[in-house]
Each structure stands twice: as C-alpha cells, then as structure tokens.
Structure 1
Amino acid sequence: MNRLPRRRPLIAGILSAAVSSLPFGGRSQSRLPDKSLRILVGFAAGGGSELMARVIAPQLERRIGRRVSVQNKPSGADIAAGDLFKRDLGQGLIVAFMPSTTLPTTPTGSPFPFDSQSKLVPLTTAGPFQIAFAVAPRTGIKTFADYVAWVKAEPKERARLGTTATDLYLQTYALMIGRALDVSYQIIPHQGAAPLVEALAEGSVPAGIGSVTTVLEHNFGGEVKILATSGARRAWVLRDIPTLKELGYPGLELQDWYGFFASSASPPEIIAEWNRQLEAVLLDKEVMAALAQLGCDVETCTLAEAAARLAANIEAWTQRMRAVGIKMKN
C-alpha cells in the first residue's frame, strides 16, 4: 500500500499543491523500463525523506508516463534501504531516496547486507538538508544561549538529548554538540519525529535533534521550538532561526544532502536516464517550491559530481566518527 499517511494541514497542503499543479500533458520520451517503478524510502512513514519523495513521485510519473510508487520501510528499524533494495538490484526498476548520511555508517558494519559503496551508485543530489536543535515549549527556553545556560545549571538532570532516528550520524552529531558545549549528554534515540515530540511533551527529554524537514511541521504546530540549525546559512523556511555557526559554534556547521541512488548493476544507459529524468523533475518550479517549504532548497548535479560528493561525504563522516570516539570497522 502507498497511501498517504495523515498529515497536519501544513504538510498536507504542500503535498496537495505540488500534485494539483502538475500538468497532465507533455510526457517526456523516456528510456526507463516500461514497467511500474518505485522510489524506496528506507525509513518508517512520516519522516522527511518520505514527505519529499511524495512530492517528487507524482511529477515523475506524469513526466515519464509510468506508474511511480513510494515504498516505506514497514518495521521500526530506521536503516532499511539496503534490505529492501537488495531484492531489486540490477533491474533498474527502483531507486532509493535517502539522506547522504545513511551510507557513511557502513564503515561501522551496520546498515547494508552488501558493500553499499560498490553496489550503489548516486544518481543526483536533490538538495541539502540541515539539522535542527529543538526544545520542548514547556521548558520556556527562548534562545540557544538560554538553553546552554539552562542545561549547564543542572547538567545531571537536564543533559538528555533525544534524536529522531537511531542513525549513527545523529549520535555522532549529538556527541559533537556535547563537546562544543562541554556537556556530557545522555543520548536517547527515537524512531521518528513523532516519538521524539512525545518524549519532549512528557518531559523525558528536554531537547532533541533531527533534520529540519522532519522537525519542521512540529515546530510550526507549536509542539517543539527550534532554537538553531546546523547549516552554513539560514534555511529559507526558517529565516528567523539562527545557525549554530552564527551563534559562535563554527565546529557544529553541518549540511548534508538528500539524494537518489540506483544499483551499480543497472545498465549505464538506465543510470544516465534516471539522472536525466530526476533532474528535470527536481528543477520543476512547483516541485522546487514545495520542497523549499519542506526545508530543502533543490540542488541537482551530474553523475560524476554525485559520485565525488558521496566519496567526500563518507570520508568526512568517517573522520567525525573517529574524532568523537566511535570505533570503526577494520
């Protein structure tokens, strides 16, 4: 089933506008297989990756004249793209849509039942994403400086930091935040934004981190208050929220990217065609506007550029994990 889960009015409106604005004519000639195609989101429903994929899929479907569905990971595990993707390697019928931070955990031996760096090929970036640092409104904290003073006043009681996923990259970034603030955090992972928001409301954690796209609707709904983001510059959709770099923490600048990935066993002409069609869809003005409202400013690239960016990303995260003491696989 690929039914759209319930959304708050904000998110539902974005998705509806993106789909309703799409043209019905003008299909592109495509060399993609003349079969139903899938965009795999290797996470449970409700995350930022799924929201974006459900904006992109209808436009791609209308452009190429083939059925395009979005598939989620049905269980609670966060990193599941590898398990699902393995079944369709080489057919060219499925692409994975996921944050670039999914693959750097491979050196620790966790996410994929195969060597992801040799079996997967990045097709294109979709756009960068930032991490949001948020607190529970019940704390009364208004600014990141207020939070730093607050947590340091009673660190034994207050130094608990939740995450929206069990991904190693969020654990790594949480440790980086702790080092920058000189706070020894108890890191408490959650499987999605909704469980983290519930924990914030209940008071089991006073603060949490997750991608801007994942946390955004809860911020606008008043369930969390975003105090800062991790980007080099402010997110378009959060123009009033400062970056951690602005606030005096340049070492916490962090901006990764969402991207599409295919099997490296797919025919080269199919890989090239996926790149061509996805780039055209991502640069559609209605899709760009919808993704911007979800916290992603579209940025595409060539196959060669995508490969270079992924290699650099994996190296950067390997260094970050080593720096905070995470043991790497030999």
Structure 2
Amino acid sequence: MFPDHPTSAPLRRRTFTTGAAAGALLAAAGLARAQPAGGAIRLLVGFPAGAGSDAIARLLAEHLKDELNAPVVVENRAGAGGQIAAQALKAAAPDGRTLFLSHDHSISILPQVVKNPGFDPAHDFTPVAGFATFSNVLAVSGGTPAKTIDEYISWVRTKRGGKDTIGVPAPASIPEFLVKLLAQKYKLDLQAAPYRGSAPMTADMLGNQIAAGIASVPDFIEHQKAGKVRIVAVIGARRQPLLPAVPTFGELGIDNLNDYPYYGIFAPVGTPQPVVDRFGAALQKVLAMPDVKSKLVAMGLNVAYEPQGQFAGRVRSYTATWGDIIRASGFVPQ
C-alpha cells in the first residue's frame, strides 16, 4: 500500500486466507466444529446503532439465527471507522462464534490510511462471502435551496464565498477523498468534516448544522424519501435504480470511480473451512428470501451473493483501485 505502511507488501499482492489450516484444525476438533453447539454467534459491526451498517446487520441476524440454529447477536463496536470492530475480530477465537459485517472502509481503506491499524485483513481475516454493493453519494441538507449538484455548487460560490464544509462518516475515508475530488473539479475550498459514523453526521445535516455530507445510499435513502435531504450525485458506473434522476460522478467529469463499495462478512483467520462454508450457505439462503432482499434493496443496496473466492477477488481489486487514488492524492498515512 504505502511505502511506510508497517507491512512489507501491498494488499493487492496478497491473497486472503481461506482456511488453509482447516484440515489440521478439524482433525483435532472433529467435524462438529462445522456446527457450533450452544451459545450465541456475535456479529460485529463497526458503527453505532442507527447507522446503515447496523440496520443491515440486524436484518440479516434476524434470519441467520434460523439457518444457523443459534442466536445471532449484533454487537456494535463503534469508533475509528470500524477499526475497533476489526481489532475485536482479530482478537476473537476462530471457533465459529464471531463474525464481522463490514463494508469496504474497514477492510480496504483503513489499512492504507492508518500506519498502525492493529490488524491486517490479508493475514488476520478470512472472507466468508459478499452480499451487496452500494454507492456513496453526495447529499445536501434541507436547509439549503439546492436541489441539484449544479445548484449546490452555485450556492457555495455565491452564498458561501466559495467555501463549504462537507460531512464525512470517518477521517481518511472514501467520502473524504471524494470531497477533495469535488474541490479540484469545481475549484472551490471544500473541506471534509470527519464524524464518528454516518449517524451523527446525518443528524447534523437534518439539524442544518452542515449543508452537505457524503455517505452511502443506505445512510441517506429514508431521509431522501422524506424530503429531509437531497441526494445530488452518486458514485459508480451507472445511475442507481432508486435514484434515476441523480447523475453519477462520472457524468460530472470525475472519472475512475466505477468500482462499487461492497458489503461482506468476515471471520477470524483459522476458522475451519466447513464453518466458513456453513456461514456462507446460510447467508445465501437468507439473501434469497424475497422479504429480506426487498428490504435491502429499499435501503439502497445492490444485492448479490458472492461466494468466498469471488468475494476475496473483489476485495483485492477494490483495495488496489483505491490505493492508486489515495497515493495520487498525496495523502500521508497517519
């Protein structure tokens, strides 16, 4: 990733561990490890209750418990853009009792922008499966008169003297880099205001404390429907089905943003492969339930199950793409 990252090789050159040690573990523990007996399964989430990731995790947990024949308890380890939850996953025993529901920031971005994040996804985590992609979006608060990106830019120029602060859910996140790209594109003094998650950022937008914010579609979609915020631009190669009138950043002339952020589930490295396979099969069944899929789509997700190998490839590719963008921005890991 970065030359001064504490690891010796970029993530793009590594492969995620997929349970290569499963044979030895199973020989010692028996195939019963593939179906943990008794006790709850923790589903770690790196953001607070009320955030988009939390709502997604609770919906999936409600149905996964039936497929896994065990309670699935969502455990919010909020803070540092998912870093605390990721560290908790690393510290967890690989016994099939702990999973981590994460989007791209904690897995692909944090290790590239933090010198010592306390975990290395390539060495410490086993990807279980992917289940959705989504778009980051720029939204303006109801306190502004802007209804489009052009109106927002004009408002900043004429009413704010060419300066504005745009909220982002975490420091050194993709939304923060999008703020930099917008500032370059429109030649404005736009500064990112990092929050501890999308929920407090959105609350400030609803209270008109900040005029704009960048987060995921799931973070904004209900407020968009209620007319409390207005989404004016989306990331990705195509417009979103829920937002057909909203242009992409590519249409605005900001290119190379066609890789969609992802959601997936991860387990501690060393988790026996039959356990990983069982989790993946359970997730696939849950995603096939019409009511679950419709609710996830209504949250702004593009739902599609990705098995372990395919999902690991997506993570590597996405990590490499944004590594190039981060380095080109001149950002120095903190």
Q: TM-score, normalised by structure 1?
A: 0.83
Deviation at 1:193, TM superposition (A): 3.2
Deviation at 1:241, TM superposition (A): 2.8
Contact conserved, 1:44 with 1:78, CA < 8 A, in 2? no
Query: Residue by residue, what CA displacement relative to the aligned partner does 1:96-137 show, whole Å, maximum 9, x if unpaired?
Result: 001022222213335742322211122111111101211112
Deviation at 1:222, TM superposition (A): 2.6
Contact conserved, 1:44 with 1:77, CA < 8 A, in 2? no
Question: Does the residue aligned with 1:250 lie in a helix, a strand or coil?
Answer: coil
Alignment of 1:171-250 (within 5 A): 171-250=176-255
Question: Do structure 1's residue 71 and structure 2's residue 75 form an aligned pair?
Answer: yes
CA distance in 2, matches of 1:296, 1:161: 23
1:85 corresponds in structure 2 to 89
Cα RMSD (Å) of the superposition? 2.4
Q: Aligned letter for 1:70?
A: V
Q: Aligned letter for 2:107?
A: L
Query: Residue by residue, what CA displacement relative to the aligned partner does 1:173-197 show, whole Å, maximum 9, x if unpaired?
Result: 2212222222231111122334223
1:103 corresponds in structure 2 to 107
Q: Aligned letter for 1:100?
A: D
Question: Does the residue aligned with 2:214 lie in a helix, a strand or coil?
Answer: strand
Query: Residue by residue, what CA displacement relative to the aligned partner does 1:128-176 show, whole Å, maximum 9, x if unpaired?
Result: 1101211112211111111122223356464211113335222222212
Question: Do structure 1's residue 160 and structure 2's residue 161 form an aligned pair?
Answer: no
Alignment of 1:311-330 (within 5 A): 311-328=316-333
Deviation at 1:278, TM superposition (A): 1.4
CA distance in 1, matches of 2:45, 2:92: 14
Question: Does the residue aligned with 2:266 lie in a helix, a strand or coil?
Answer: strand
Which region of structure 1 is more displaced relative to structure 2, 57-66 or 229-238?
229-238
CA distance in 2, matches of 1:149, 1:265: 54
1:33 corresponds in structure 2 to 36
Contact conserved, 2:171 with 2:195, CA < 8 A, in 1? yes
**How many positions carry a matched residue from both structures?**
300
Contact conserved, 2:142 with 2:208, CA < 8 A, in 1? no
Question: Do structure 1's residue 273 and structure 2's residue 278 form an aligned pair?
Answer: yes
Deviation at 1:207, TM superposition (A): 1.2
Which region of structure 1 is more displaced relative to structure 2, 167-176 or 193-202?
193-202
CA distance in 2, matches of 1:44, 1:236: 27
Contact conserved, 1:32 with 1:274, CA < 8 A, in 2? no
Give unpaired runs (5+ residues) of structure 1.
1-28
Deviation at 1:305, TM superposition (A): 1.0
Contact conserved, 2:137 with 2:233, CA < 8 A, in 1? yes
Give unpaired runs (5+ residues) of structure 2.
1-31
